[in-house]
Amino acid sequence: MSGAAAANSVSRWKADIPPIMVAGNELLIFTEAASLVASMIADIDKAHKRVWLETYIFADDASGQRVAESLSAKAGAGVESRLLYDAVGSYLTEKSFFADMREQGVDVHAYHTLFEALRHFSPLRLMNRRDHRKLLIVDDDIAYFGGMNIVDHGRDFRFINTPEEAAPHMGWRDFHVRLKGPAAQQVAASFARSWDQAHGRMLTARPVSYRRVHLPQAAESIYFFDSGHGLGFSRSDRVFRRILGSARHEAVIAMAYFVPVRRVLGAILRLRRDGRRVLVVVPSLGDMPLVRRASQYLYRKLLNRGIRIFERTNRMLHAKLVIVDRRWTVCGSANMDPRSLWVNLEFLAVINSETFARAARTVVAYELRHSRRVNSDEARPLYVRLLCALAWMLRWWL
């Protein structure tokens, strides 16, 4: 995509959902990778002080090359440029791609490489724990967070039967936020902690109130949570449980990988037991087939309790989004699966704003218009039911 085309894409999206002000910060929602990457590059190109990027996947494709070029140009101009990428998430990317950025002055670090795991004599622990976060910090007042990696998913051929159908099925649907304002400093502090952790430096423990996800009831607010293992973090599990437990009317969940376990599943079931409405949107065809089967294993239990389930039909839904009572919105990198809830490094934003929740519901409404409702009496072949049961048993390793 040319620079002009990318800029136009961003403008069209801004016209659809204008920037939203929350607690003195301007928030802009992205659901398409092309407009997000164009906006990120525009901000990187204007940076004067720093550009810090953290991502699970950094691919050597059209989008990745454009971002790499901008990072390298800024590093060459004396702007502090850091890249933290996950060694497993980006395993398909040639090491020479990152070496080129390093030669241009970008401070590049791979999170939990195989060499690092062997050097510390803990291959299972380190290789199992991944950095799944997606952050970009530009100078002191701009930050991006959400579910999109630096990768072109292009045409999703699982949904295309003929070449004529290709146009509506380009790329994945997601949820990513650009923040401009004082809260960007908190995102920068979160990046600094994961950067230090990746380099083996000791982290100070978070306060108990942070780890327990205590949310003051201000009129409007934005809270950020580093989710991961140890006292330096607060698990995604606790963030989701806190928000779901606060619901008085309804909870809307749009999730790429929906395999809630333990107390998160219990929180969802309690909502229906207490008379709250619950709606779940998941992809009909995910990029992780076993995760999808593990989700389907739960369908009957959820449907029998009155939870509405919809499958997004003609594009991959990669969002990680929870909206409660048209007021609270949780978005970021964490899925509702065991890996995100208990193992990986994740980043979650908890946004208390009726205006932002309304915009997020608009995004979910669009996904619902392209979804099919799952019925409790749908018959599945025996082999599919057995596969779903097997996937559920393997849920902690998916």
Which whole-number Å values give the CA distances from 308 to 130, 264, 279, 305, 397, in the listed order?
Answer: 32, 17, 5, 9, 27
Q: How far is CA 86 from the centre of its chain?
A: 14
How much is the pLDDT for 105? 98
How much is the pLDDT for 185? 98
**223-280, pLDDT tens digit by residue?**
999 987 666 677 899 999 999 999 999 999 999 999 998 899 999 999 999 999 999 9
Q: What pTM, to 2 d.p., does this model score? A: 0.92
- Residue 244 and residue 209: Cα distance in Å, rounded? 18
Tokens representing residue 331 in the block: 């978005």
What is the average per-residue pLDDT within 330-358?
95
Closest among 379, 363, 159, 169 to 281, alpha carbons compared: 363
How much is the pLDDT for 161? 57
**145-164, pLDDT tens digit by residue?**
999 999 987 655 566 555 55
Residue 121 binned pLDDT confidence (cut-offs 50, 70, 90): low
Q: Hey, what domains does the chain have and what are their CATH numbers?
A: 3-198 (3.30.870.10), 208-397 (3.30.870.10)
- Residue 138 and residue 44: Cα distance in Å, rounded? 6
Residue 376 binned pLDDT confidence (cut-offs 50, 70, 90): confident
What is the average per-residue pLDDT within 64-81?
97
Closest among 223, 157, 132 to 186, alpha carbons compared: 223
